Structure 1
Amino acid sequence: MAGLQAIRYSRGKLEVLDQLRLPHEHHYDEVNTAEEAFDSIKSMRVRGAPAIAIVAALAHAVELHNGACTATAPEDVISHIDARLDYLKGSRPTAVDLSNAIAVLKVAIRAAQIEGLAHPESRDAILNAYFQAAENILEKDLQNNTSIGSHGATWLQQQYNAGPARKISVLTHCNTGSLATSGHGTALGIIRTLHTSGLLEHAYCTETRPYNQGSRLTSFELVFEGIPSTLITDSMAGALFALHRERMNIGAVIVGADRVVRNGDTANKIGTYSLAVLARHHGVKFVVAAPTTSIDLETETGAGIKIEERKKEELTQISGAVVNSDGTVDPSRTARVAIADQTIGVWNPAFDVTPHELIDAIVTEKGTVVKGANGEFDFRQVLPERWTRIVGK
């Protein structure tokens, strides 16, 4: 799995895999400042809601470790950290993991300030509290992903009475594996667990236009892991589902989430909503895999989610490594080509919102949540303290 790590970290040093160069080249960028992290996230050299939060938290840990904060008074240290975290929060507004991680970090440094008020070394206590909290975000994410894989595979096994003689196939969208997390993955983590448990017949992945995370990244991970898999274009999903009963045995669509709001509406990579509609029409289960850090209880419905829009060139141009005449790929030579009239107007939302009505299950590290009698998801069991604090009942 080391070759698939998106993030390599030791205290004082952070390296982030440049995912724009995959699958043809492995190159890690050193990230030493919040500005470098912001650029890495904004340019999508690192992407995936969990990975975004981890890189932001650890990048600031690195610059703090390297002496970026010269303040000595505890309140000034906290003010400095707050300002840097607020700056990083603007790098990707749709993914809630980032804002949740920032909230956790702010709580941790304030707790350290209170505990250290009577001691002259309280500045160091605040910095150490930040380091420990940021590193815990990295460590906990891997644990969460492993649990999500287990819970999701168990739920699907129960739905289809799956076993070695009755395997299921699945479709996934975008990239939700080791490259989007600290390791194992969320939606792709479920697929990994199905595979290792002998329950997976075949995995299909969409190319995920316009940024092609599926064709560039997910297909790479599936091949690397030796999982039987096939790449399709986004527009082929309906045809695949139409054949599933007779030939393909598609049991589920499994996707990740950048934000799940209180009623279960889910923001994820553009094209997810279309897959949910197609899945419902064809009787295919639609499963969202999301750590509880991706759940936003403060936003009641999907109408309150801010959807990021990206530049028009992602639709009108494409770049990649040059293919030689003999079919080999030369990553040292890249080309950018036009694939549309460069004057056409473009609408390019990075995400869409899938209504909770179209989702069958939301798998978290604390268990699988299904809809209640009112047709909505109830997160009180998996997030009791946060639910009481935010919702109050």
Structure 2
Amino acid sequence: MEVKAFYWKGDYLLLLDQRKLPQEEVWLELRDHIQVAQAIINMSVRGAPAIGCVAAYGFVLGVKRGVDPREVYEVLKSTRPTAYNLFWALDRMLSALSSGKDIEQEAQLIEREDYEANKRIGELGNELIPEGARLLTHCNTGALATAGWGTALGVIRTAHYSGKGISVWVDETRPYLQGARLTAWELLKEGVPHKLITDSTAGFLMKKGLVDLVIVGADRITAVGDVANKIGTYSLSVLAKEHGVPFYVAAPSSTFDLSTRSGEDIPIEERGEEEVKNCFGAAIAPGDTPALHLAFDVTPAENITAIITERGIIKPVNEESIQRCLS
């Protein structure tokens, strides 16, 4: 059964509420840009490529309702600060409108291009996956985080279907548990052998020689190859480097922000402390204890073995290699 995060229905967007997974598959009908913006903020939809696609459809819904396009743009743009695909998609939609293009067709094209890019990423990335590899991944980078197929999880999916006999270590990904709730759910549906681990288990598995490579997604990639991704990714890159484990990033070209030079310049989203102090409505910390919830961290280019894009594999990861690949 195909996993899809959303479906465009012409006058509304049908969105799988990822907050409810894996217990329930609840679909939301989003009929204006305000509802789309709220769905992005509250993480009913997440994953940079999926956010970009959904924002594009939100732009269509707002403009169709007669709202000033610039207002629609600003409302959607203000939802999440780190995921670059959001800004890339909205800029493209505003440009399409100003040049007289059909914006509904443009949004559908963004979705189709992302799916095709993911398939190509899977094909190219599969060349890096050894037979019988034990892969470790973080957060959710599958069909739920994209227009379909997935980025890092798309590589895993491709390797599985090519008969390589792989298995996957799934980081739970605190505090929102995208690994435990979403990646495990997708892998189970696909029949991919996997085991769920706590985030703090990864380093010990590497020490014991039980991890052959790490593969993750990205929310923004800078001109020099620094990568913003779900919090915990940087720690994995340090552990992988220490233990000599290849560390791969899989992302479409739309995730590259070449106007931002280094990771120091990436805005890092800080979410509400209640997401750290509570888990599915149950308090797991004293109410008066303050918490810090950074949603992303930045992995420096020197910790990354290669970046897999639909345009090719970037290795070594540096400004020259990125420019050559993307041009």
Q: Give TM-score scaled by structure 2 length.
A: 0.97
Deviations 1:223-275 (A, max 9, x none): 1100000000000001111112xxx3x22110000000000000000000000
Correspondence for 1:217:
182
Distance (whole Å) between structure 2 residues aligned to residue 109 and residue 338 of structure 1: 46
* Contact kept in structure 2, 1:370 and 1:377, CA below 8 Å: no
Correspondence for 2:217:
256
Correspondence for 1:90:
78
Deviations 1:167-205 (A, max 9, x none): 211000000001111110000000001111122421111
* Contact kept in structure 2, 1:310 and 1:348, CA below 8 Å: yes
Correspondence for 1:76:
none
1:380 and 2:298 equivalent?
A: no
Distance (whole Å) between structure 1 residues aligned to residue 245 and residue 266 of structure 2: 26
The CA deviation at 1:216 is: 0.5
Distance (whole Å) between structure 2 residues aligned to residue 378 and residue 90 of structure 1: 32
* Contact kept in structure 1, 2:142 and 2:150, CA below 8 Å: yes
1:149 and 2:137 equivalent?
A: no
Deviations 1:111-159 (A, max 9, x none): 22xxxxxxxxxxxxx5xx21111111111111010001111111x14xx
* Contact kept in structure 2, 1:264 and 1:377, CA below 8 Å: no
1:350 and 2:295 equivalent?
A: yes
1:107 and 2:108 equivalent?
A: no
* Contact kept in structure 2, 1:167 and 1:198, CA below 8 Å: no
The CA deviation at 1:380 is: 1.8
Amino acid at match of 2:90: I
Matches within 5 A, 1:154-303: 154=127, 156-157=128-129, 162=130, 166-244=131-209, 248=210, 250-303=211-264
Would you say how many aligned residue pairs link Structure 1 and Structure 2?
327
Distance (whole Å) between structure 2 residues aligned to residue 23 and residue 14 of structure 1: 21
Q: 1:309 aligns with which of 270, 289, 294?
A: 270
The CA deviation at 1:12 is: 1.7
The CA deviation at 1:36 is: 0.3
Distance (whole Å) between structure 1 residues aligned to residue 300 and residue 230 of structure 2: 14
- The worse-fitting range, judged by mean Cα deviation, of 100-109 and 40-49 is 100-109
Correspondence for 2:309:
364
Gaps of 5+ in 2: none
Deviations 1:361-382 (A, max 9, x none): 011111111116xx55622223
Gaps of 5+ in 1: 71-79, 113-125, 320-335, 385-393
- The worse-fitting range, judged by mean Cα deviation, of 288-297 and 55-64 is 55-64
Matches within 5 A, 1:38-117: 38-65=37-64, 68-69=65-66, 80-112=68-100
Q: 2:112 aligns with which of 133, 139, 150?
A: 139
Amino acid at match of 1:232: I
Q: Give TM-score scaled by structure 1 length.
A: 0.81
* % same residue: 44
Distance (whole Å) between structure 2 residues aligned to residue 30 and residue 265 of structure 1: 36
* Contact kept in structure 1, 2:62 and 2:69, CA below 8 Å: no
Partner-residue secondary structure (3-state), 2:325? coil
* Contact kept in structure 2, 1:105 and 1:133, CA below 8 Å: yes
The CA deviation at 1:105 is: 1.3
1:339 and 2:284 equivalent?
A: yes
Partner-residue secondary structure (3-state), 2:166? strand
* Contact kept in structure 2, 1:356 and 1:376, CA below 8 Å: no
